[in-house]
Amino acid sequence: MKKAFLAIPAAVLAGLVFSGCTTVDSTQKFNAVGIGTANDKAVCQTFVEIPGYYFLGLPVFAGSAMGDGKSSIFRDTPTVENVMSLLTLEAKRQGATRVINVTVNSVDSTVFPIFVSKRTMQASGTGVRAKADPINSTPAGF
């Protein structure tokens, strides 16, 4: 009986560890469909997600603001600032000079009533570059 009681918290902790990592995913494949504007060429479509688990409203385990596959403990990292920072950083890595069509979404859910909750912050956007810009140009302040 004691083993069963110990197995439950261990399974919950393992689930948190494996599902609480930051995700940054980007693609440059658009199937020859023109995405962007008349003056901009689409470079990438990027998605960022930072999940976080809370015990009585206090952060316990969350994805990290440091990048893809990272996690943190006791930090409240699922914020608009953090997902936007990762979104623009990834777009810049892909060669974009601007990000358009940005969407930010927050989803709150209860994992275990009253005690454990989950917040997932997501952002997505299209990285673009002016058609006249050379591939490696980046404007100041990006």
CB 40 within 8 A of CB 126: no
Q: Which amino acid is at 69?
A: G
Q: Which amino acid is at 53?
A: Y
pLDDT band at 75 (very low <50, low <70, confident <90, very high): very high
Q: Average pLDDT, whole number, for the chain?
A: 82
Q: Is the pLDDT of residue 138 over 60?
A: no
pLDDT band at 132 (very low <50, low <70, confident <90, very high): confident
Backbone angles phi, psi at 113, to 5 degrees: -45, 135
- Rounded to 10 degrees, what is the CA torsion of 89, 85, 27, 20? 120
CATH topology of domain 20-30+37-130: Translation Initiation Factor IF3 (3.30.110)
CA distance 17 to 127: 31
DSSP-derived letter for residue 79 is S
Domain ranges of the chain: 20-30+37-130
Q: What is the pTM of this model?
A: 0.77
Segment 26-72, tens digit of pLDDT: 888 876 666 666 788 889 999 999 999 999 989 999 999 998 899 99
Q: Is the pLDDT of residue 134 over 60?
A: yes
Segment 81-122, tens digit of pLDDT: 999 999 999 999 999 999 999 999 999 998 888 899 999 999
pLDDT band at 73 (very low <50, low <70, confident <90, very high): very high
CA distance 77 to 62: 7
pLDDT of residue 54: 94
Q: Is the pLDDT of residue 19 over 70?
A: no
> What would the DSSP string read from start to end of 83-130?
HHHHHHHHHHHTT-SEEEEEEEEEEEEEEETTTEEEEEEEEEEEEEEE
